[in-house]
């Protein structure tokens, strides 16, 4: 079976042939490889071609594919059941471990996806504040909830439809869009909507318009602006949680949000989401309080087993973050050297094990700058990398991810592929 044959079959039964839009390769051309297996830092397609993987299931595989401790934890759980619809010890242990590693998450509720986590956090914030409006940032993607598909990043930006049909105008009007790294835009929106904004939600390190770090002090300024406006602050750490640091991006920046959303790594590669925060807020959720949210498969035992094994390994081996920083820095250095040597209009953003090559002279600090990238050249770069056996996210507006399995040899091979691919794309 070939990827092309599978894609043709998929097009007949699945919208666009994929179950998540960014997988379709439409923005980079060609057809997606259909993957058959993965191990460590590598994946193989159905035709047996091997790739160095920098998608990592879009972030969860921080230990690499098929990590022995994670696989064994799932096997043990399989032997005793896949789902019960009743409380389990693992759910309690997960909540306790998240609260230990991320102190702002005093109480935690498990859900099934990052989108479900952000939607639920917004409902809770609106109820707690008694207000309807939310403030988000242009190019930040918080899942496909109606309130978020207004100037969104990730797949919505790739498809060119950030304002999705099907989102009621009345609901979209309740979403305010500030500019990331522009505190004046935040303050102006709070002032123009005084007493109406329930919460501001932000990716503390943006990953859904490419990797964009916050300016020094920006997140503290957002925290202060929220406090002055009487609004809650929500950190969307679905991507950054336990990736950029063991305590997430909030541990790096020293800012304590009121609510935090999680996903990806806490499921170890299985579907998962969670949100947590101040006890007085979280205890407003049913059945403790009146704010309703439920989920049949929330806290699924398999996801809890994989996630606990991953988090426990990271906690026991904090040196992994030093290793990821070292490998990420080496790849960044190699890319920057090539760019400078050739005077190409290309720049690199990186935070820990998240990074993006922007086909833009830089700097890239906001959606306006990210959206000005040369997407045609990025598509040529992506295809050239794929031909050299390196699988990158098929969008200019997605971060790529390193794992603990990306050793020095793999980084060197990737750097060589980058040099050749950039030369091909810029030629």
Per-residue model confidence (pLDDT) at position 152: 53
Does residue 315 carry a catalytic annotation? no
Domain with CATH 3.40.640.10 in the chain: 68-316
What angle is formed at CA 393 by the lines to CA 389 and CA 396, rounded to 5 degrees?
A: 120
pLDDT in tens, 205-254: 999 999 999 999 999 999 999 999 999 999 999 999 999 999 999 999 99
Collect contacts of 314-321 with beta carbons under 8 A, ≥24 apart. Answer: 314/62, 314/63, 314/242, 314/246, 314/265, 315/97, 315/101, 315/246, 318/246, 320/62, 320/63, 320/404, 321/245, 321/246, 321/352
Q: How far apart (Å, rounded) are the C-alpha atoms in residues 167 and 147?
A: 8
Nearest to 118 by CA among 147, 138, 96, 98: 147
Residue with tokens 């609260």: 99
Distance between CA atoms of 145 and 119, rounded to whole angstroms?
6
Nearest C-alpha neighbor of 418 from the set 332, 324, 315: 332
Q: pLDDT value at position 50?
A: 98
Predicted confidence at residue 157, as pLDDT, reads 44
Instruction: Determine the pLDDT at residue 161.
Output: 41
Q: Which residues pair with 136 in a beta bridge?
A: 177
* C-alpha to C-alpha distance for 195 and 190, rounded to whole angstroms: 8
Catalytic residue among 45, 54, 151, 236: 236
Outline which parts of the chain fall under CATH 3.90.1150.10.
3-66+318-426
Bridge partners, 107 (sequence order)? 277
Rounded-to-integer distance, Cα 273 and Cα 118, Å: 9
| Residues 6+ away with beta carbon under 8 Å from 257 | 104, 223, 233, 234, 235, 250, 277
Region of 275 please: left (phi>0), alpha (psi -120 to 50) or beta. Answer: beta
Residue 145 confidence (pLDDT): 83
407 included as an active-site residue? no
E strand or H helix at 218, and its extent? helix 218-229
Q: Rounded to an integer, what distance in angstroms lies between the CA atom of residue 6 and that of residue 376?
A: 26
CATH 3.90.1150.10 applies to domain 3-66+318-426 = yes
- Which one of 264, 275, 374, 381 is the catalytic residue? 264
The structure tokens 């956090």 sit at: 121
Owner of token pair 């950190």: 235
HSE-CB at 241 with a 13 A cutoff on CA atoms is 34
Say what angle helices 301-316 and 89-101 make with each other, to 10 degrees: 40
Query: 54, 141, 275, 321: which one is catalytic?
Result: 141
236 is catalytic: yes
Tokens of 301: 């035992």
Give 3-state DSSP helix, strand, coil % of the chain, rounded to 5. Answer: 45, 15, 40
d(CA 320, CA 139): 30
Instruction: Give the bridge partners for 234, in sequence order.
Output: 201, 259
Length of the chain, in residues: 427
How far is Cα 73 from Cα 205, in angstroms, rounded to an integer?
Answer: 30
CB 352 within 8 Å of CB 62: no
Q: What does each of the 427 residues of the chain score in pLDDT, given as a tens digit?
A: 899 999 999 999 999 999 998 898 988 998 999 999 999 999 999 999 999 999 999 999 999 999 999 999 999 999 999 999 999 999 999 999 999 999 999 999 999 999 999 999 999 999 999 999 999 999 898 988 878 876 654 444 433 344 678 888 888 889 999 999 999 999 999 999 999 999 999 999 999 999 999 999 999 999 999 999 999 999 999 999 999 999 999 999 999 999 999 999 999 999 999 999 999 999 999 999 999 999 999 999 999 999 999 999 999 999 999 999 999 999 999 999 999 999 999 999 999 999 999 999 999 999 999 999 999 999 999 999 999 999 999 999 999 999 999 999 999 999 999 999 999 999 8
Name the CATH topology of 68-316: 3.40.640
Nearest CA-CA partner of 328 in 381, 406, 380: 406
**What is the structure's pLDDT at 427?**
87
């Amino acid at each position: 079976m070939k990827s092309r044959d599978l894609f043709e079959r998929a097009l007949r039964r699945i919208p666009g042939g994929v179950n998540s839009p960014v997988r379709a390769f439409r923005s980079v051309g060609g057809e997606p490889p259909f993957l058959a297996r993965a191990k460590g830092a590598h994946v193989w397609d159905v035709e047996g071609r091997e790739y160095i993987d920098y998608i990592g299931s879009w972030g969860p595989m921080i230990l690499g594919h098929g990590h022995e401790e994670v696989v064994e934890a799932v096997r043990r759980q399989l032997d005793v059941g896949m789902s019960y619809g009743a409380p389990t010890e693992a759910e309690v242990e997960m909540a306790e471990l998240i609260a230990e590693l991320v102190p702002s998450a005093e109480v935690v509720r498990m859900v099934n996806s990052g989108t479900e986590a952000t939607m639920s956090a917004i409902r809770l914030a609106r109820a707690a504040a008694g207000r309807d409006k939310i403030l988000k940032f242009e190019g930040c993607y918080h899942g496909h909830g109606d309130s978020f598909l207004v100037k969104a990043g990730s797949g919505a930006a790739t498809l060119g439809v950030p304002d999705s049909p099907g989102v009621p105008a009345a609901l979209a009007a309740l979403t305010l869009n500030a500019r990331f790294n522009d505190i004046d835009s935040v303050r102006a929106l709070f002032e123009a909507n005084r007493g109406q904004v329930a919460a501001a939600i932000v990716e503390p390190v943006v990953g859904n318009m490419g990797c964009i770090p916050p300016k020094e002090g920006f997140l503290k300024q957002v925290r202060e602006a929220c406090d002055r406006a009487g609004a809650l602050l929500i950190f969307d750490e679905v991507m950054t949680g336990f990736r950029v640091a063991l305590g997430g991006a909030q541990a790096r920046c020293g800012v304590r949000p009121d609510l935090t959303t999680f996903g990806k790594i806490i499921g170890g590669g299985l579907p998962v989401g969670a949100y947590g925060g101040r006890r007085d807020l979280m205890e407003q959720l049913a059945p403790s309080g009146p704010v309703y949210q439920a989920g049949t498969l929330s806290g699924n035992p398999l996801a809890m087993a994989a996630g606990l094994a991953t988090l426990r390994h990271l906690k026991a081996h904090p040196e992994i973050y030093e290793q990821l920083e070292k490998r990420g820095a080496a790849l960044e250095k190699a890319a920057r050297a090539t760019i400078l040597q050739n005077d190409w209009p290309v720049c690199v953003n990186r935070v820990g094990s998240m990074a993006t090559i922007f086909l833009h002279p830089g700097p890239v600090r906001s959606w306006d700058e990210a959206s000005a990238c040369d997407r045609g050249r990025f598509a040529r770069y992506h295809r050239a990398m794929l031909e050299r056996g390196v699988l990158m996210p098929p969008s200019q507006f997605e971060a790529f991810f390193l794992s603990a399995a990306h050793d020095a040899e793999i980084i060197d091979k990737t750097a060589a592929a980058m040099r050749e691919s950039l030369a091909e794309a810029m030629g």
